[in-house]
Amino acid sequence: MPGKRGAFLNYTEAAMLAAVNDVRLHKTPIRTAAKKFGVPKITLTNKVKGKSPMERKMGPISILTPEEEHKICDWVQKNGKSGFPVTTEQLIVSVDKYLKEIKRPCVLFKHGRPGRTWVKAFIRRNPTISKRISQNLTASRAKVTGDHLSEWYKRVYKELEDSVQA
């Protein structure tokens, strides 16, 4: 009988690790361990036999390292704080330029540059940033005084100083 529809990855990595250890150490049958820990029997079998890795990272390997993604995420946040939110196209172009500068081949990207699905996955992997829809400029937001502008320039100058010192 096939598994339940929509029951994809309904177990924790800790449960899978405990099930694998139970099978290996206590010589528990795979079927019993799968029921006891609530993990799929075929997945448990593959992990015990070494056919699949213990971590459940799925899909192709990431083009950028976690450190590189963290730097890009920081860049997006700093631009947003400075009043220059990064658009999807700017993010794509920036990542494309970065990959060309470090001369890393990107065979996973169509035409060698990230697409909109990569951007969606990037936002999902980095929950501190979010995609927002622009709003119309109201009359109250359009009223900008000289004090507002000088405060804005001070904030931008401080952000630039902080980024140079870092």
Query: What pLDDT score was predicted for residue 2?
Result: 54
Give the C-alpha distances (Å, rounded to integers) separating 67 from 70, 71, 74, 129, 138. Answer: 5, 6, 11, 16, 39
pLDDT value at position 35?
A: 93
Q: What per-residue confidence (pLDDT) applies to 72?
A: 93
Q: Residue 44 in contact with residue 21, Cβ under 8 Å?
A: no
> What pLDDT is attached to residue 91?
92
How far apart are the C-alpha atoms of 90 and 78, rounded to whole Å? Answer: 14
- Pairwise CA distance, residues 42 & 38, whole Å: 12
pLDDT score of 30: 92
Q: Are 44 and 51 in contact (CB under 8 A)?
A: no
Q: Which amino acid is at 8?
A: F
- Specify the pLDDT at position 45: 92
Look at residue 8 in the predicted model and tell me its pLDDT: 63
Residues of the chain with pLDDT under 70: 1-9, 56, 58-59, 166
In whole angstroms, what is the distance from residue 18 CA to residue 36 CA? 10
Residue 3's pLDDT is what? 55
